[in-house]
Structure 1
Amino acid sequence: MKQTLIENKGLPTSLLWALAIIAGITVANLYYNQPLLYNISQDLQVSEFRTNLIAMVTQIGYAMGLLFIIPLGDLYPRRKIIIVNFSILIISLLSIALSPNLELILLASFFTGLCSIMPQIFIPIAAQFSTPDTKGKNVGIIVSGLLTGILGSRVVSGIVGEIMGWRFMFFAAAVLMIISCLFLLRIMPDIQSNFQGKYKDLMKSLLQLIKDYPVLRVSALRAGLAFGSFLALWSCLAFRMEQAPFYAGSHVTGLLGLCGVAGAMTASFVGRYVRKVGVKRFNYIGCGLILLAWTSLCFLGNTYAGIISGILLFDIGMQCIQLSNQTTIFSLNPKASNRINTIFMTTYFAGGSLGTFLAGSFWSLYGWNGVVGAGVLLIGCSLVINLFFKKEIA
């Protein structure tokens, strides 16, 4: 049943959890391919470098969707945006499942990324309509849903890819999108737009927001670089696990995603303590944990203990960085929450695309040590930005 929402007056618990669950199911589309890259490479008889472009193109598509589609949430009813995006998403997932060659998969993967942006419409809803005291916690719940989707996608796709083949996973994903769309249209309240004007004026306002808020620029950049380091690991982990001494299939790579449960459990905690601990401190903690993760992956990367401990540290560190920065930016201008989230998340996934590309390139040239080097470089840049930026609002 649809509900009427009033800004800063609270979000019904049932709606909040429904949005969190659907956010997880939708964001999973971005990550199904990661444990399956080796399977796709073998099936289509293409190189690992070219196959790795699937993950990169998906992230680029998502960044483009964040930049050009999410701002529409301030201009048009969000229900209309949901219908169009889910329709395209269903077609693109089916196209991947039926594709006879890599070129069509790349094109469909771009549109899959482009239209998997629903979670980034839900997060501003949680921020805009929650009470001030529950804003951080509620945003954390939505982010926990995202994390669960990310983790679950890798586990499920790895197992399904091993048993049913990689194409079956994308057929199943299309069915999940049909179910999610129908349910979301039933529960999503009608939310009035916050921007009066044309689309070109809306896009111009993004530049003004970037100019007006230094905190937004820095928060987006340091989080994006950290996410690039994160995806450097996941975009090449399937190739690493296929080699000695592991010789592991896609199901093992997927199951390693379960290690990130620690990160999902951290999200709500970080959301509660952003103001108390401070964004800058959370970024130091996050960068430190990720550097420790790469140390484990470098020196203990030939053991399951080293791989698992690295993933655990990575997921917790990423939540410290992402959620502290993302929660903070929503306090800058609540009326422009969709556009502010657009700037943040576009930068975030542009960083992810950069990390995926660098990792794929360095893997081809230098193997696993090259991937570690790319990841350390990116998180090091994030740490430097955090060191030199002084102003924070939390």
Structure 2
Amino acid sequence: MNQDRSDGIAPQTVILMAVAVGVAIANVYYNQPLLVDIQQGLGVTPAEAGFLPVATQLGLALGILLLVPLGDLLERRRLLVVLSCATAIALLGMALAVNLSWAVIASLGIGLTTMVPYLLLPLANEWAKPDQQGRVLGTILSGLFVGILLARTVSGLVGAWVGWRCMYALASGLMLILVLALHRLLPESRPQIKTSYAELLLSLWHLVRSQPLLRKSSLLQAMLFGCLIAFWGVLAFFLAGPPYNYRSAVAGMFGLVGLVTAFAAPRVGQMVDRSGSDRIIGISIALVAIALLILLFIGYSLWGLILGTVLLDLGVQSAHLANQNRIYRLVPGARNRIGTVYFVSSFIGGSLGSFLQTYAWKTWHWPGACLTCLLMTGIAFLVHGWGQE
């Protein structure tokens, strides 16, 4: 069956997509609470175990660059099913890992094949009516945010009860269930273009050159995402010292603020449909700036730290939603390649944020980290001021 664009996207299809992106993106984050258990199970050092999340993120970046553009060339349901099967195999490989090299290769494979979120978001935008695109993206992104949050919580609990290998075996089984659900319930979707894979990749640069709004959205979100990564990179260190002196478990609990964003995402999507992406992005950047000022001046009190963290996450993710809503409209036949440019830019921004926060924390501690984030937010504000949507 093919999706009829004139009827919009069916509510049950939106729910399927939200669940699918949540189940899939969780695979990337299972290893974070399990690193100590994996380290002990494989008999490696903490530094060596640290290669596993790096390999996963590297695989994710490579997959976005090399596999997501295929969504503009191949039938999407079949592509999603094949990649999800590959993810299940990689997860099973992780569960059976007997040494570090095996585990690194499996982690790379998990990241490389976890492309369900990055293929379903542009597909949902394509199927949704113009006046419902923001709400649909918001609903699906709420599934993604919940998946990230639950991944860290569930993997920690499962790892403590039955071991980290069981967590990966369970995740592999979940992906096989997702494969069946996608195959049976997701409509077919055949792209209209016919070209070679090499030409498909080369067209990424043409899109960057020919679409100023894509450049603007990508740079803007790179700065905001870099700001978010920089903040989370120093939060644990800040909480470990005075005036808090909290343990790492408490720092992990701050991740639950993402629930606010998860529940707010559909509402933000409706606001995007009514008011337009440009206005919501401007409000989101202002929200991020307010959050950082709260963190800078009132972050030494617990309520100020919690409030600032909630507003920061909500602002960055709201801008993320609105940016996707407008870039996927630029070239209807190139939504996946547009998403590739956008997400690769976000990864670069995240890397820049990580680099800057390391130096800022070492030199100026909390004030330096907050000011660095404000600097990146200021750049995002200037980029947002370059012309109108």
Q: TM-score, normalized by length of structure 1?
A: 0.84
The residue matched to 2:4 in structure 1 has which SS? coil
Residue of structure 2 in register with 1:88 after alignment? 86
Q: What is the distance in 1 between the residues matched to 2:76 and 2:69?
A: 10
Matched, 1:248 2:223: no
Residue of structure 2 in register with 1:271 after alignment? 269
Residue of structure 1 in register with 2:210 after alignment? 212
For residues 305-316 of structure 1, the aligned pairs below 5 Å read: 305-316=303-314
> Is residue 56–residue 111 contact of structure 2 (8 Å, CA) maintained in 1?
yes
Amino acid at match of 2:310: L
Q: What is the distance in 2 between the residues matched to 1:340 and 1:136?
A: 17
Aligned pairs, number: 386
Residues 1:259 and 1:195: Cα distance change in structure 2 (over 3 Å): same
Q: What is the distance in 2 between the residues matched to 1:364 and 1:106?
A: 30
Residues 43-86 of structure 1: CA distance to partner in whole angstroms, max 9, x if unpaired?
A: 84334xx7666545433332221221111112112233223322
> Is residue 219–residue 345 contact of structure 2 (8 Å, CA) maintained in 1?
yes
- Runs (5+) with no aligned partner, structure 2: none
Q: TM-score, normalized by length of structure 2?
A: 0.85
Residues 343-385 of structure 1: CA distance to partner in whole angstroms, max 9, x if unpaired?
A: 2222223323443455467667776666545544433332232
Residues 72-112 of structure 1: CA distance to partner in whole angstroms, max 9, x if unpaired?
A: 11211223322332233223334444556666554433332
TM-superposed CA distance for 1:328, in Å, is 0.7
TM-superposed CA distance for 1:175, in Å, is 2.6
TM-superposed CA distance for 1:167, in Å, is 5.1
TM-superposed CA distance for 1:26, in Å, is 0.8
> Is residue 60–residue 353 contact of structure 1 (8 Å, CA) maintained in 2?
no
- Runs (5+) with no aligned partner, structure 1: none
Amino acid at match of 1:336: A
Residue of structure 1 in register with 2:45 after alignment? 45
Residue of structure 2 in register with 1:282 after alignment? 280
> Is residue 124–residue 338 contact of structure 1 (8 Å, CA) maintained in 2?
yes
TM-superposed CA distance for 1:11, in Å, is 1.3
Q: What is the distance in 2 between the residues matched to 1:346 and 1:136?
A: 22
Once structures 1 and 2 are overlaid, which stretch shifts more, 162-171 or 347-356? 162-171
Residue of structure 2 in register with 1:260 after alignment? 258
Cα root mean square deviation, aligned: 3.2
Residues 1:229 and 1:362: Cα distance change in structure 2 (over 3 Å): same
Residues 276-322 of structure 1: CA distance to partner in whole angstroms, max 9, x if unpaired?
A: 43434323322232233344445555554344223211221023210
Residue of structure 2 in register with 1:390 after alignment? 387
Amino acid at match of 1:248: R
> Is residue 225–residue 381 contact of structure 1 (8 Å, CA) maintained in 2?
yes
Residues 167-210 of structure 1: CA distance to partner in whole angstroms, max 9, x if unpaired?
A: 55434322322221222122122211221111112122222222
For residues 1-394 of structure 1, the aligned pairs below 5 Å read: 3-36=1-34, 44-47=44-47, 54-99=52-97, 105-161=103-159, 168-235=166-233, 237=235, 245-250=244-249, 252-274=250-272, 276-299=274-297, 301=299, 304-359=302-357, 371-372=369-370, 374-387=372-385, 389-392=386-389
Amino acid at match of 2:315: G
Residues 1:56 and 1:383: Cα distance change in structure 2 (over 3 Å): farther
TM-superposed CA distance for 1:40, in Å, is 6.2
TM-superposed CA distance for 1:21, in Å, is 0.8
TM-superposed CA distance for 1:324, in Å, is 0.9
Q: What is the distance in 2 between the residues matched to 1:246 and 1:35?
A: 21
Q: What is the distance in 2 between the residues matched to 1:213 and 1:66?
A: 19
Amino acid at match of 2:148: I
Q: What is the distance in 1 between the residues matched to 2:19 and 2:329?
A: 25
Amino acid at match of 1:267: A
Residues 1:320 and 1:37: Cα distance change in structure 2 (over 3 Å): same
TM-superposed CA distance for 1:5, in Å, is 0.8
> Is residue 84–residue 176 contact of structure 2 (8 Å, CA) maintained in 1?
yes
TM-superposed CA distance for 1:141, in Å, is 1.5
Q: What is the distance in 1 between the residues matched to 2:223 and 2:274?
A: 25
Q: What is the distance in 1 between the residues matched to 2:129 and 2:325?
A: 13
Residues 1:206 and 1:237: Cα distance change in structure 2 (over 3 Å): same
Residues 1:362 and 1:28: Cα distance change in structure 2 (over 3 Å): farther
**Percentage of identical aligned residues:** 36
Once structures 1 and 2 are overlaid, which stretch shifts more, 357-366 or 271-280? 357-366
TM-superposed CA distance for 1:162, in Å, is 5.3
Residues 1:376 and 1:111: Cα distance change in structure 2 (over 3 Å): farther
Q: What is the distance in 1 between the residues matched to 2:37 and 2:353?
A: 22
> Is residue 72–residue 336 contact of structure 2 (8 Å, CA) maintained in 1?
yes
Q: What is the distance in 1 between the residues matched to 2:262 and 2:369?
A: 25
The residue matched to 1:134 in structure 2 has which SS? helix
